[in-house]
Amino acid sequence: MSFIQPVILSGGSGTRLWPKSRKAYPKQLHTLYGEHTMLQHTALRVLGQQSPLVVCNDSQRFMVAEQLAELELGDAQIVLEPVGRNTAPAIAVAALQAIKANEDAVLVVLPADHLIKNLDAFHQALDLAIAKAERGSLVAFGIVPNKPETGYGYIHANGAESEGAAINKFVEKPDLKTAQAYVESGEYFWNSGMFVFKAQTFIEELNEYEPAMVELANTALSKAQEDLDFCRLDQDAFSQCNDISIDYAVMERTGKAWMVPLDAQWSDLGSWQSLYDALDKDKQGNVCKGDVITYGCSNSMLHAEHKLVTAIGLNNIAVIDTDDSLLVCDLADSQNVKHIVDKLKKEQRSESELHRKVYRPWGNYDSIGGGDRYQVKCIEVLPGASLSLQMHHHRAEHWIVVSGTAMVQRGEEEHLLSENQSIYIPLGEKHRLTNPGKIPLQLIEVQSGSYLGEDDIVRYEDRFGRA
């Protein structure tokens, strides 16, 4: 039996699902359907193979590790990209890593943010793809289209039977008229971004078309540092890799490209429209989540997280409420959410990347209020976890314990605090917060000072390897 190595690509930011999905907490780490996050659904999809190898970025590493641990996938490998370089370099590193474990390894490459409802159909197609890959093909899954779609690229593979066909060409996202012609021809399939091939075959083809990338990926892996349970790629080498997708780097050039058709109720959930299409609806065609009351609404999506959301007379509208932002748009126009995110970035607004609640390896904090010279946060520290030993140049802090037990290092002193007790951290004082207990520690932090930015942190010691 072949050595099957699932590879999950989890580096995307999912900006078209803003404000729910943001760079620091993207859609693949959210529970958008069912009982699991999208990353967890992807890992469970290939359960029974080797434990997955996940490629993600540094800022998401602890959330990825925690979500895999919830599935009891303790031996999963997590490779950290120092910079984003598209899919080809990420897959090259994964292939080289798999070859070290087994030179005949077959990779099953899956983006972390896809929905596949019909798992039986997926596994049947996967078995076909693995068999074809073992014979030397580079296999792409082509989604059988059920409508003209301008948001996906297409694969042209005429004569495709159930076992697939050789790929003639890949084509870019078409206009609506072209997409309609593609669907009517029966020879075009949506490009899913999922692939199956022998790791060695992929590296040989990549070496033919992008030899420098193979050399740089090898160097990035050979100079990688083991950081806790993570493999941290060498930044100098990896950042020199060509920023290019696997399609452009290999699949559009190779003579070994093969497509296996997949008809399994697939979606990449790339917009609020596609998420609406994928979810169950009420009798009026609405998808409502959270505290929502509607009157005379139809075919709409209403998402409430922190407050009551009410709507009257809406049709084909998305209303997405989060802790700090509200999106209202026509579902048919939801692909254009990315332009809002671009504008937020241009204006350097934090809402483009961060939620009000920010996750850290030790827990999280929620910015619940503030003004010109003060800020109030609710901080949660996981049992046994500790923040870095740090100091601030511009702010002092007051901590009030709400629940749990806090061990506070302030200068050379240590203070053990329980519920309703508080402590003051003067400006410039070294300090560290630790939860020595068995339950989460919750406290209120009141910051006061002339500058309250998160970059006013001088770290002296940090168990998580942060600068």
Boundary residue ending a domain (209, 240, 267) = 267
Q: How many domains does the chain have?
A: 3
Q: Do 113 and 170 lie in a common domain?
A: yes
Identify the pLDDT of residue 466. Answer: 66
Residue 387 lies in a domain: yes
Is the residue at 346 inside a domain?
no
Structural domain for 319, as ranges: 280-336
Of 267, 300, 323, the last residue of a domain is 267
- Both 297 and 217 in a single domain? no
Compute how many other C-beta atoms are within 10 angstroms of the C-beta atom of residue 449: 16
Helix/strand/coil for 190: strand
Residue 249 belongs to a domain with what CATH number?
3.90.550.10
Identify the pLDDT of residue 402. 97
Measure the N-to-C terminal CA separation of the chain; round to a whole number of Å: 45
**pLDDT surpasses 90 at 2:** no
Q: With bands split at pLDDT 50, 70 and 90, how would you rate the model's confidence at 462?
A: confident
Residue 151 covered by a domain: yes
Q: Average pLDDT for residues 357-370, to the nearest whole number? A: 91
Establish whether the linkage from the previous residue to 19 is cis, with ω within 30° of 0: yes
| Residue 95 forms part of a structural domain | yes
Residue 352 counted as domain residue: no
Same domain assignment for residues 314 and 392: no
CA distance 112 to 12: 9
Domain boundary among the residues 207, 239, 267 is at 267
Residue from 352, 383, 381, 379 nearest 368 by CA: 379
Question: Are 294 and 254 in the same domain?
Answer: no
Burial-class residue 128 by CB neighbours within 10 Å (0-12, 13-18, 19+): buried
pLDDT for residue 12 is more than 90: no
Same domain for 248 and 124? yes
Q: What is the pLDDT of residue 242?
A: 94
Do both 238 and 289 map to the same domain?
no
195/180 Cα distance (integer angstroms): 25
* 306 and 168 part of one domain: no
Cα(281)–Cα(147) distance, integer angstroms? 20
Residue 1 has pLDDT above 70, yes or no: no
| Residue-wise pLDDT tens digits, 277-313 | 999 999 999 999 999 999 999 999 999 998 999 999 9
- 319 with 368, same domain: the answer is no
**Residue 155 to residue 174: CA distance in whole angstroms:** 12
In this predicted structure, the answer to whether residue 467 has a pLDDT above a threshold of 70 is: no
Residues 443 and 311 reside in one and the same domain: no
- Tens digits of residue pLDDT in 74-132: 688 999 999 999 999 999 999 999 999 999 999 999 999 999 999 999 999 999 999 99
**346 by DSSP, 3-state: which?**
helix
Complete DSSP assignment for 389-453: EEE-SSEEEEEEEEES-EEEEETTEEEEE-TT-EEEE-TT--EEEE--SSS-EEEEEEEEES---
Confidence of residue 14 (pLDDT cuts 50, 70, 90): confident
Is 407 inside a domain boundary?
yes
- How many residues in total does the chain contain? 467
Are 131 and 230 in a shared domain? yes
pLDDT at 159 over 90: no
Identify whether residues 207 and 284 lie together within a single domain: no
Are 338 and 345 in contact, with CB atoms under 8 Å apart? no
Residue 57 belongs to some domain of the structure: yes
401-412 per-position pLDDT tens digit: 999 999 999 999
Place of tokens 């709409």: 300
User: What secondary structure letter does DSSP report for 287?
Assistant: E
Q: Which amino acid is at 429?
A: E
- How far, rounded to the nearest angstrom, does the alpha carbon of residue 195 sit from its chain's CA centroid? 18
Q: What is the CATH number for 431?
A: 2.60.120.10
Give a yes or no: residue 275 inside a domain. Answer: no
Mean per-residue pLDDT, 159-177 = 87
